[in-house]
Amino acid sequence: MPSLLDDPNLPEDAKSRARHVLEGCKGGSLGSYSDSAGIEIIRRHVAEYIERRDGFPSCWENIVLCAGASEGIRGTMKLMINHENGVKPGVMIPIPQYPLYSATIAEFDLHQIGYYLDESKNWSLDLAELKRAYDDAKSVCTPKALCVINPGNPTGNVLTRENIEGIIKFAHERNLFLFADEVYQDNVYAEGSKFHSFKKVLMEMGEPYNKMELASFMSCSKGYMGECGLRGGYAEIINLDPAVKAMYLKSISAKLCPTTLGQAVMECVVNPPKEGEPSYESFMKEKQGVLSSLATRAKMVADTFNSVPGMSCNIVQGAMYAFPQITLPEKAIEAAKKEGQAADVFYAFQLLENTGICIVPGSGFGQRPGTYHFRTTILPQPDKLKVMLEKFREFHSNFLKLYE
């Protein structure tokens, strides 16, 4: 409402931001279409945010605003579609993975190259496993891209800087396009863990790595924001061939533009209140409160699952999920077969029907054959989470007794 811009009850810095965004909109209204790549002033602020984060220049013309990071990932993955002599392009993705990747790869008729994360080392990314997956796939596809989710979904791991350097060198040697899904970059909890953006590491490594093709993604759905339904996100795409970039921008123009409300929310994420401004203290208090509470919940979830017989859970270093492994009795596996279900799906349905707790079976994300996992969030408030985890413990104990 335009009248709110004159409301004395609203902080002046918030009103100033709103005015600047509206000035960047056609007709001064969020109800107008924006440029296909997004409102220019917000793209400029995204570039400034990346510069502050990484200490390296970011060009606003390499920023594309999108309806959530998912649309940015899908739009960029379209660039991989080029079947040469009937051979599919291959895209390397982590296993376990976020199903957006496998679904998009299938939809675009690409070849999925899964590389297993190492559960025994807190879901770290093993370079020998990357090489194995790449070499095994070369005979059936042309590997074109490597996707990395950091911090990890569903695994909650955070890559070390050393690990990221190794991944960049691996991709460079094989001329792979790097996809860096970094939507959980604000969600790092474990002592000793730190978020390092692929852009920053790539630039610090210098020649020839700083000339690599890289697309990195951010969202307003995660972090301390949690504005999932407003569908805001961005992609920063660097070192693209100018002709390819022109075609990319042409392809996203078919969707006209991302939701302007989502773009405005990304403005709030990348251009938050600064020290000395009226909104700064309340913003920092709320942000730190959310992240501190998530860190407490991350520890609570892992500690509880590790105290349950037949369960093991890695430290939740970051993101918003735990991905515990469960040991299922042979009778439970047989009962699942009779129901025509995977054993972890059977377990998840039994949990839902008996407790009302909803988890996602590990088979939905991919897992090593013969192992069973599930993903659960750390999002319930601490008091509710405590009740949920106790219900979970009781259910699991009864489940094991029933199927022993």
pLDDT of residue 149: 93
pLDDT tens per residue across span 219-243? 998 888 888 888 889 999 999 999 9
Q: For the chain, give every domain's residue range.
A: 33-270, 280-403
Question: Any idea what DSSP says for residue 274?
Answer: P
Residue 137 has pLDDT above 90, yes or no: yes
pLDDT tens per residue across span 334-358? 999 888 888 999 999 999 999 988 8
**309: how many CB neighbours lie within 10 A of its CB?**
9
Pick the CATH number of 33-270 from 3.20.20.140, 3.40.640.10, 3.20.20.70, 3.40.109.10: 3.40.640.10
Q: How far, CA to CA in Å, does 68 sit from each of 237, 261, 341, 343?
A: 16, 11, 32, 33
User: Rounded to two decimals, what is the model's pTM?
Assistant: 0.88
Are the C-beta atoms of 271 and 45 separated by less than 8 Å? yes
Q: Residue 208 burial by CB count (10 A; 0-12/13-18/19+): exposed, middle or buried?
A: exposed
Contacts of 114 (CB under 8 A, 6+ apart): 92, 93, 94, 95, 97, 133, 366
pLDDT tens per residue across span 253-275? 887 888 888 888 898 899 998 88
pLDDT of residue 83: 81
- 280-403 topology per CATH: Aspartate Aminotransferase, domain 1 (3.90.1150)
Contacts of 149 (CB under 8 A, 6+ apart): 94, 97, 98, 181
pLDDT tier at 17, thresholds 50, 70, 90: confident
Are the C-beta atoms of 221 and 71 separated by less than 8 Å? no
pLDDT tens per residue across span 49-92? 999 999 999 999 999 999 888 888 888 999 888 888 889 999 99
Residue 1 has pLDDT above 60, yes or no: no
Mean residue pLDDT of the chain comes to 89
